[in-house]
Each structure stands twice: as structure tokens, then as C-alpha cells.
Structure 1
Amino acid sequence: MKKLIVATGNPGKLTEMQKYLTDLPWQLALKPAELDIDETGTTFIANARLKAGEVARALGEWAIADDSGLAVDALDGAPGIYSARYGKTDQERIDRLLRELGDTHNRQAKFICAIAIASPDGKIVLETEGICPGEILTSSQGNGGFGYDPIFYVPSAQQTFAQMSPSTKGKISHRGIAFAQLMPDLQKLSSGKSI
């Protein structure tokens, strides 16, 4: 089995990635806590590349990183790469977003997930971006999920992320889409074929 370092200190993200990569011969491990990467990119893909490349180089191992967040049309793409830093708690982030949107009629938004994989020398060998379009509700619905899930409504599913079963969310979410796009090349990579 090949080792794949997940460029995060978040065990939840490691568990989530394991679900998507279950059929591949990769053994996932968290990056060491003391290895800190500054997310200085201005886009999700730039931050994913930065984290994967730096972790791979520092450890001499394959590395995978993702960067994701919510982009709201009426707020010119905010909170964007600052989605996790939009408030101290999930509720504060939701409250701030709803306050800034006010009674705006344009509630269009999208969740974006960028994923990058780097070889042990830090070279980015795979990358993709998954997008799940939706809209922002005026109040929370559903008890599942985290972050902005209770106010992110997906018209095609007629549910918020917080109302969906984990398997439904896993398929139609931005992260699910990104991993689905990545899988064919990831399978080639894990069997030693060139991409």
C-alpha cells in the first residue's frame, strides 16, 4: 500500500477522505501537527496546491490536500477562501452570512472543493475542482452536517446539505463531485500507470 499524507490536522477530514478512497490501495495518514502551512493562495485550487506540495516536500511522501468553501453570488463570491474564518463558530458564520445577504433576492451560491495531489518531490500531479450549485435560505433547515450546511439548499435534491443523508450528501456535494472527477486518474496512479 502506498502512503498518502492528508495535508490537514483535522481527523474528521481524514475520515471523510477515507470514505471516498476506500477502494484504492492508499494508506492515509494525517500530516504532523507541527508542520504548519500558511494558506496564502487567493483561490481554493492555489491553497490546495500549496498544502499538498509543501507537505509532500517536507515529508518526502505522496500528499493530498483540499481547500473548500462557499461562494455567494450577491456577495461577490464571499466568504470564499475565508469561509472557515467568517466567524468563530458555525452559528456565527451563518448569522454573519445571513446578515450580509439581508433581504437580497439573489440567493445563488455554490460550494467549491479543490483537491490537489503531490508526488514526494512536491510536484502537483493531479488536481480538480468540484462545484455544487445551490442557494442560501433565509433560515436554517435540518440538523445534520456542519458549517453552512443548514442554509445551503440544493434545488436538484430539494434539501439543504443538513437535511441530506450522509450518502446523498457524499454523492452530490462539491467534495463528492471533486473525488468522482479524480477517481479515474487516482486509480491509474495507484496501479503505477502514468496519467
Structure 2
Amino acid sequence: MRELVFATNNQHKTQEVRNLLLNDYKVLNLNDIGCTTDIPETGSTFAENATLKSSYVTEHYQLDCFADDSGLEIEALNQEPGIFSARYSGVKDDQVNLNLVLQKMEGQANRKARFRTVISLMRGTENFLFEGIINGTILERPIGTQGFGYDPIFVPDGYNQTFAEMSMEQKNQISHRALAMKKLISFLKEQKPV
């Protein structure tokens, strides 16, 4: 089975992706390859941040690597928190960040939002980008205990449950990361190993 590095230490993300690539690849994360560097995300877009992470691993570990950058974009907040989703409040604390969003959304009639993921795949010196977007609505209070991040306040269009009320299997069918991963998986299946 071929190995691919997913440039993350986030166990939730790693497990989501392992479930999606179960029979095709052994997915390793940064812990698995011994990478303890906090790879800087200094880009101004999701694509730039994803590429910074994937190219770092490929350059320093000589392994094919993919990385994602994801975030919540809320129309009424000028697409915030965007690339700052994981540290919107200034700290990497899901609950604190979620509370800040709810506070900023108080009294807002426009609750439209979307989750966006961009995946950068580095194979040798080539970079390939894959994007997934899911539109939805921001609730006034959190509902559900599954998932992570902003999942308890996001209801995808066409559904009546938040991401945090869905099982991982349900979420993996429709999430922004799953949509981008499906594009990545299709691409990988069409390619010959490098």
C-alpha cells in the first residue's frame, strides 16, 4: 500500500481522511513521520497556506504530501473568519472561536456561510490544488456534540442538522473537506506512482 503524508497534527482531520482513503493509501500525519515543526501558515489564501505545508514536508522529508487549509466564510462578516478560522479569537480554542462568531453574528439577519477547503498535493516538484465548498447557514446557538470547530453552528444547505449532529460517515459524504478529498482521490487513482 502506498504511503501519503497528510501535513496535520489534527487527529480529527487525520481520521476523517484515513476513512476516505482506507483501501488505497496508508495515510501518515506529521506525528507519524516525526515532524514537530510548527509549519508557518503565512499565506493570504487557503491555497497558499496549504501549499506552504505540503511543500515543507516534501522538501524536508522527501515524501509525497498533501495539506489542506480550511475555514468558515460568513457573508455578513465579510467572509470572516476565513483563513483565521482556527485562531479567530487569537487562540487555538474551538469553543472560544465559536463563541466569538456567535457574538459577532448577534442580530444579523443574513446567516449565509460556507465552509471551504483547499488541498495542495506535492508530488515531487509538482503542486496540484483541489477545492471543496459547502454552503449553509449559521445558527444562533450550538447544537450537537460530534465534529469539531464550527460544526455545532453550521447547517449545510438542504439539511436540517448541524455538522455536529451528523455521524462522521454522514459528514464525510458532504463536507467541504470530503468534496476536496474526492477530487484528490480521483486524481490519485488516475496517476501512476512517482
- TM-score by length of structure 1 reads 0.90
Match of 2:85 among 79, 83, 90: 83
Partners of 1:49 and 1:120 in 2: CA distance: 13
In structure 1, what is the equivalent of residue 173 of structure 2?
A: 171
Choose the corresponding residue for 2:48, options 46, 49, 52.
46
Give 3-state SS (helix, strand or coil) of 1:143's partner: coil
| Identical pairs, percent | 38
- 1:23 is matched with which residue? 23
Shift of 1:33: 3.3
Q: TM-score, normalised by structure 2?
A: 0.90
Kindly indicate whether the alpha-carbon contact (under 8 Å) linking 1:9 and 1:33 is maintained by their aligned counterparts in 2.
no
Residue 14 of structure 1: aligned partner? 14
Match of 1:115 in 2: 119
User: Gapped runs of 5+ residues in structure 2?
Assistant: none
Question: Which 4+ runs in 1 deviate beyond 6 A?
Answer: none
- The SS at the match of 1:42 is coil
Alignment of 1:1-195 (within 5 A): 1-24=1-24, 26-31=25-30, 32-87=34-89, 88=91, 89-121=93-125, 123-124=126-127, 126-189=128-191, 191-192=192-193
Q: Which amino acid aligns with 2:107?
A: D
Q: Which amino acid aligns with 1:5?
A: V
Residue ranges of structure 1 left out of the alignment (5+ in a row): none
Rounded to whole Å, the distance in 1 between the matches of 2:41 and 2:26 is 25
Aligned-partner Cα distance in 1 for 2:3–2:137 = 38
User: Between Structure 1 and Structure 2, how many residues are aligned?
Assistant: 189
1:4 is paired with a residue whose SS is strand
Q: Displacement of 1:3 after TM fit?
A: 2.2
Closer, same or farther: CA 34–91 of 1 in aligned 2, 3 Å: closer
Supply the distance in 2 between the matched residues of 1:176 and 1:64 (Cα, whole angstroms): 14
1:27 deviates by: 2.2
Partners of 1:2 and 1:128 lie apart in 2 by 20
How far does residue 36 in structure 1 lie from its aligned partner after superposition? 3.0
CA contact (8 A) 1:139 1:151 kept: yes
Structure 2: distance between partners of 1:120 and 1:11? 26
Partner Cα distance (1:20, 1:141) in 2? 25
Instruction: Give 3-state SS (helix, strand or coil) of 2:68's partner.
Output: strand
